[in-house]
Structures are given as C-alpha cells and as structure tokens.
Chains A and B, each alone.
Chain A
C-alpha cells in the first residue's frame, strides 16, 4: 500500500528457434519491462530484427504518412464500422491502393499550391505597375534610353536628377511608384541618396490592369481546384479512417515484436533477454512460456528487490549470482500499489513526480486527507450532489486515464461535501433545521460554519491548526522512514528533530504556561476546545509543567536541526515548524468565505431577519425568510436584515410588473450566485488543498523520480490478436 509493488529482475534465455514464440508470449503478457542490452558482454551481440521486420516497418511508415496527409485522428474511429481488413494481405492490398490515390491527390494539391503561390507573387509584382499606369512593353526593350522603375517619391527623384550632369531625362510617377527615363546620366549614382528602391519590370505586354485581371482569374480558378482536392481528401479520410487506425495499430504491434531482438543479447544460436516485472506475476509468466515453447527457454528470477524489517529496500540475488558481474544494480521501475479507492489519487501525486522505488508512496494519505478537507471546506448537501454529478460526467465523458481519475476525485470530494453539508445543516446555504425547523434527523446541524458566531469560527481556526499538526507529523514520519534506508542518524537529525520542534512548540502553545498573554480562545476557561457553541471538549490547556517540558523538547529539537542541517536549519525553523502549520488556516478561511458567499446569495433572494438561534442557546441568528416576507415574521425588538427579492412584489398593492421582476431577479440571483459559489469552490477548496498536499506535506519528505514501468507489449484498441 505505502510501498510500490515488489519487482524482480528476470531473464529469459533460449535457442533462437523459439525466439519468435517467446517474443509473442512476452508481448501478449504485457508484463515485462525489458531492459536494453548494452553490448558489454564478449561474444554477445544485439540481435537482428525478426524475419519480415523490414517490410512491416516500411508499411508502418507508409500508413503513418497516409494518416498524416489525410489528417486522421483517434476520434475519427467509428465503432460501428469494421476495420476493413482481416488478413495481412488484405491490409497491404488496400494500403497500396489507398496510398496511390492519396499520393495522386497530394501531388495535385502540391501542384495547385505551387501555382497559387506563383500567381499571387505575380499579382504582387504587377500591383505597382497598375498604380504607375504605363503599359509594360513600353517600359523595356529600349537601347538608347535607360529606364528604371522603383518605389519612391517622384518629386525627390526629379530634384536629384536636376542637380546631376546631363539634362536628358523624364520622370513619370504617382502614388509612390516612379519611372525614370534618361540618357547619358549615371542614374546609379544619382538615385543612391534619394527615396527610390528599384523593382524589376515583369514579363508580358499590354496594360498592367488587364494583366492583373488575368492573374486574378487564375488565382480564383486555382482556389476552386484546391477546395475540390481538399474535399476529396476529406472524403477519403472519412472513408478510410477506421482502416488506417486499425492498420497502424496492427503494424506497430508487429513492428514492436519484430524489433524486440534488437534489445536482446544474442549469439549465433541463442538469445538472452533481461527485464523487470512484478514479482507476483513471475510464476504466471513462467507457466505461459513453458506452455508455448516447453523446455527450450530458460527463465530465471535473477533478483528480487525487497524491503527489510525496518522498511527499507534491500537488494540480494536469489538463485543466481551471475548478474553481479554486471556491476551495480539499477533501481527497478515503479508500479504503484494502492487499493482501488485510492488509485485515482495517483495522478495527483505523479503530477509532482512518480515515487522512487525506495521511498514511501504518499497516495494513500492524499486519498485520506484531500476529499475530507475539501468536504469540510465546502460542506453543503446541494453542492455535494452537484460535485458528484460533475465528477461522474467527467468520468463518463473522457477517455484519458488521468482525466477519468480527476472525475473520480470529484466524486469522492462530492461525497464528503455532502456528509459535511449534513453535519453543518446546509443545503445551498439554507439550513433545513435552523430555517425550516426540520429537527428529527440525527446529527444534522451538530456543526455550523461559523459565519454568524465568532466562537465557532475560532473553533475552526484551532481545528485547522490541529489538522495541520497531524498532517505534518505524518509527513515527518514518512521522511523518517525514507531516511532510515540511508542511515539511522540521518533519519533522527533530519526528521525526528523536526517532529520534536513541531510538537514541542505547539504543545507549549496549547499549555497554560504564560496563559494570560496567549489569546483567550486558545487556552483557559474561554478556550474554544473547552466550550464552544457546537460542543464542549473540556480542554482548557495542557498543565503548565507539561508546557514547559515540551518547550524544552522543542529547544532540543531545534539544536538537533541546527546540528543536522546547519545554519540553514535555524533559518528554516520558523517557517517549517510554525509558518507551515499556520498555512493550514486556509482551510478555515475557505470554509468561512464560501459559506459567506452562499449566505449572501440567499439573503438577497429570500431576505432575512435577526432572531435568536433556534437551538444554540444565547447566540443570535440570521434567519432566512423562507415562508413569508421578513417584515411579517419579525417579532418585537428584532430587525429585518434585508427584504428579499422574492417578496419584493408579493405584498399588497404592488402590482404584477413588480412581482414578475422581483421573481425573475430572485431566480437569476439564486441560480447564478450558487453556480459561482459552486465553481469558485472547486478552485478555492481544490487548489488550496492541493497546495497543502504539495507544498506543506510533500515538501517535508517527498523526492520522487522513479522510472515509469513500461512493459513490453501494447494493449489493442481496434484490432484483435492473430492476423
């Protein structure tokens, strides 16, 4: 549960005659994470692909090229249609046929695109000559006269020529285009200083305007043709998407198999493969291999990476010692091993990093704390049901494993939101027991959110701190266990020391030592743990002596921290032992903020008046006016807090218009308001709790960086075994 699955390093060796069958079995099992042979043993070479490998790889490249041209994506698969082939020959035939058609289309498309590009380029070069308004053929082919056309300012060019030697010239121009005709003038020299950049005169003759019309026509025709080709490509995609996806899968699996020997060590007549697999599946693999190829392969469990009594991994070779020659042994890939309910929380952990094989997997703690704290923060039966439905919708709608897991996390969070909502007596911010007097449900309303009563809010403040202390204790204990694998000393000075500081300090905070200078809600007769509007625990504070003793413990811990981590430990102490605990106050902050928002929405909609708390003696209570306008419900000495949109038009003599407007506004505010609270609940409670897990919790012990377990094999989505 807290450890990844135990892994074994296994080897499969055998005669080359059974290589193909062995590969087939291993691929089908999809259980062995094959490690590549590095070519380091004398006499052993990396193997060659199996027979037919080249053809398969070639065809696979073709399929992928065709898919790329047609733009086939996974969503294009239609379950109801078949795959369009049943044998390898059929696949190849259909592929060849399709490839020819697609290549033709692609050639067409390229030709049209080239033509289009040329035409557009031509249009671009012709455009200045339209503005100049001189026939193209007049601008070239002169022997005596030098003619230059360019973009620039006609006046400036004329001025420059006037100053130059020689006076035989003419400047035509307008709209930013200039043509200069001249004889016996060094125009290169003259034009270098003025605003003139020369352009080439295009081919053709006649009026530029006519020429550009012709080019426009060509562009239009080509665009039409391009659309035609593209729609043909699209129809080809629709027709062949299933076939291509299935063929890609079939061939890539085949290619995986034929390429497998590249990762094995081989001699002329034998092969040897090594890899990692979960120890529990080992016998299964042996059985399957024996069944397929009998005694002609030799399967061994080279080593099992175990954990010893203290809980840290121990490496020893079982059965065989031959791999010791390989030198050091790498960490095995990690297969997390959590109970089904906690599995969806693995992606949440892996977002930071996959746990290493040698460290504890914190997924189970995230599973136990995340939905609980989320539910505590939102705590509302109505929202709870909606979160469950949203989570279920996500779970059903998406394919990706990670997003599915997110959906399940949503469902879990919704369930806890509902449970806490029941305890808080909240359904969309309305209190069935407090506002409607539904008072026969056991446990409903034993808690409240503390929006209205200060002592309750302070109780949640203390509860958040206690939750933080417990959570961080777990973190340091995890760190302690992880560090035991290095050395006991490291575990003690780097983790146990923090436990002493943290617990020692907060035990002193909750003790009667110097009680008069501590806030009254923490210790003493007025402490919320002694008595609060919801329950009384009778805790007024730890005895003074215990407080002083724990203070000393904290100081001892601090000295150990400084010893273990140096000056940096001293600087870190206030944040780690104090700041990080206070960080958990966000739980109480979100609780009150979200409760307050829902409260405001309901006050606007229904109106409210101040009265006595229906079941918590001595407290005041803002009662929603659910049955009649608040002005009718108040008794003497009570105050109306807000009239309520619902009741606005329902009084006597107010008219139909006001009634309709009031009711519409009430419905709009109620629906929109609660949607906002619901969505902000996800970002506020969700993100805040994720942060507590990632920063405060993981930060204390988690390293991560384990290798992903990638077994040799590929699950089939579109095709079946044996073609």
Chain B
C-alpha cells in the first residue's frame, strides 16, 4: 500500500482489467442500471481506492472484480480479466475456485459477516481447506501467524473464540486474516473500517496496510471516507451514478482534483459553525448512574448541562455510554441514582410517570430512519401522529401544520402520500426531523443521526438542523462519534469514555490543546486528508 519510501515496492503487470462494465439491479419490477460502463485496471501489488456516495456503484464494482453479482443484480456487459482469465466466460464452478483462494473479500460489517455458529479459526481456515491448498493443521498454524502479524491479542488462542466474543476491531482484523489465508493475489476491501470507532479504525487501517504490503497483495479499497482512502490507496477513482468521474494517483488527486464533483466531495468536511456561549440552561443532568440489569454500570456519575437554544455534542467511541445517556434523558432507562432537571423542574425517572406535556417537549431522532419509521405509514401519517397526540390538532388545521413542517424540512408536499421505502436515506431522516418538530419540542436528542448517510447528504441535514435551531431556538443533544460533525454543529462538547465524562466545555476549549489524554487520543485518531497522516501518527505513537 502507500509506502513511506515510494518505489520500494515492485508493481508488476496488470492483474485485473475491467472493461466497459455494466451492472443492473432489479427493483420495482424492472432492471435499473447500477454501473454504466466503467473501465478499471490494477497492477500486482497496487491498491486502488474506489470512492463515491452510496449508490455510486463502488461496492458493485468491487464484487464484480470477483466475478460476482449480488442476488438481484446481474452483470450485463463488459469483460473482467483476472490474471488473463475471463471471469465472465468462466463457469460458476470455475469462479468459485478463484474466490477465496486467489481473490478474497473483506466485508464492511465483520460482526454480521462472520457466521455466529463457528469459531474464528474454523472460519479463517475454511477456504484453505475447502480449496485444497493446505492441510488443516498447516492452515491452523498459518492462521495463528496471520493473527500475530495483524496484531491481534493472544494470537494462539483467539481463534478458538466465537465472533460474539471479540470486539469489532478485532473481528475486522480476523476477517482480514481470513481473506489472507490463501495468500490471494487480490483482496476487495468493502468499507472495512466504516463501522468502527475512530480510535479502533487507526489500528485496523495500520494492520491492513502492513499485511497487504508484506505479501505484495493487490487491493481494491472501497470507501466513502476520503481521508481513509488517502492513507490506503496508491490511486483513487471517484465514482458517481455508476460512472467514473476521474481517476488519478492519490497525491495528485488530493492536491488538485480536476472535476467539480470531486471538489464538492472534498469540501464537505470543512463545514464549521461558530460557537455561541450559553446564557441559560434547559437541561441539567446531575450525577446520574445507570446500568442495564445488574450488569456493569454503563453510566457513572455523569453530570452534563445543556444550554437553551444551543447544541451539545456528546462524543465517544461505542460503549462509552452516549446512547444510554439519551435513554436516561428520555426516560426509557430509569437511572439508578442522580437527578435530571428540565426547564427548572425535576424530571421523573421513568417514562410512565412523566406527563404528556414533558414528553412533548423532549423529542428524539434516531440513527436508522429505516427502523424509526413504520414502513406501513405514509409520510403524512407519520407527521400527523404527534400533531394529534400532543397538540390535538385535527382536520384542516392539522393538514396546514403538516404542510408547514414539510416546508421546514425542505421537502415538497408531493411526498406526503409516499411510504418510507419510496424515500432516499436523507429524505427519511428529514421526515424523522419533521416528526420531532411536530411536537414543538424544546430539546431534540439526535442519536448518530447522520452516520448512516453520505457526506453530501450529511452536510445538508446538518445545515438544516442548524437553520431550524436558529429559527425555532430549541436545544440539541447531538450524539456522534464523528469529529467533523462535531466541528460542524456543536456549541459545547462532552467527551465520554467508558461511561464517564472525560471533559466538557465550549467547542473551542475542547478542540484546542492542551487536551485530556483520552480526548487527545480521540482527536488524533481522526483521519486527515494528508496521505502521510497515518504513517506520521503511528510513528509518533510508537515513540
């Protein structure tokens, strides 16, 4: 992969050649184009980054490089030559022989892509044994060696664990080991670190980079994160709507993108809101401790103040207790001890004992709009429900208010009779925002609401939220693990780690040094666009 001393690695002749690739997907009773004539070439030992928004066709191209189309998709045109073998002319059995052995795949969610019923080691060596490459014992030893190279803890024994017994970052490395097991010529990495925390991501990126370099494996690295691809790829290809926008060496692409679309991708991360200090506090959380069942405490002595009309960003990695905090504030999880006061009044701990009026004033927006919207309800029904329930609006009055809300979230009223499945991810999240606004709340808790969205859509949603705050003056608790989002939207920041508040204060105070040690680690783990960032960071951490 990217090397600190370029030119050391031997780049061979073409390993993969894709010409004029067309892929279609079946939905709504007809075939839609997903990839519309993409050319791609990859040399031995080279890493190509594929970047674009969701729906750009980058994962589809990655899979096509394995001669594979997802169920419901088909490759309609083009040629895929892998080491001189025409994958499309090959029989399914022939392609199966190549998959896993010469072309391997690393999926986005390792947690979902490992079979829960088998031990890691069994899954790691499965391809080696099935393709008849080595004996079971030899494969086991080689797997342990790979675990060690990928810096997994206890490489000798970690293979005997089940997928649910190891962490996400470890799983992602185990999956890389699984892909490496047959020493393939090509690995397709499909957003391998997207589901990980930034602090974990750094380690996984470094492990992947090292091992691919060590075995001189060619790779296709699919991601939507520019800063990540800058660390990993020799060359970057930008895709949009199934077409190539541009392609260039990483450094050149970062320094001077030539296409307008690429420039907009680059610009997204620069959104930043000037902070406004607090003058009055709406919500005060005082020494709250909470736990699920009798298990370990998820929140320990957490005290946070949320100013009126401002945004407090709660940051931390998964397991830090951010979402639990939201559950405590909304009353879904009664705290073991501590108190919460809202607008000067004490909030009762459980949902049942809170009056409707309090419920109305605190609303929540979730990470996955797909799960948060009833798939059987139209947009109109979704928004009408809180209007009827909290405000008792009926008939024309209600319909007028629905129209206003749609206008506020910048959606046309023609969407009102659509079902959630007929909306894009960004539109669904807008509907969720409209539903929260319908209750006319004073506090909205946003739980990772942009992390499932593309960067451009993220930016639009963040801008929308900021505009709504300026106009309506409500407070946000914005739970996120993404520092760029924090820069964009926060007035104050709360850093959480292992159920405790590490630091809190104005955005400028938290983001400028000196930091608390954990904050330092968190902030330094956020990938930067500089292609040497990872190398430098690892060097500085090793010191």
Whether A associates with B in a native complex is no
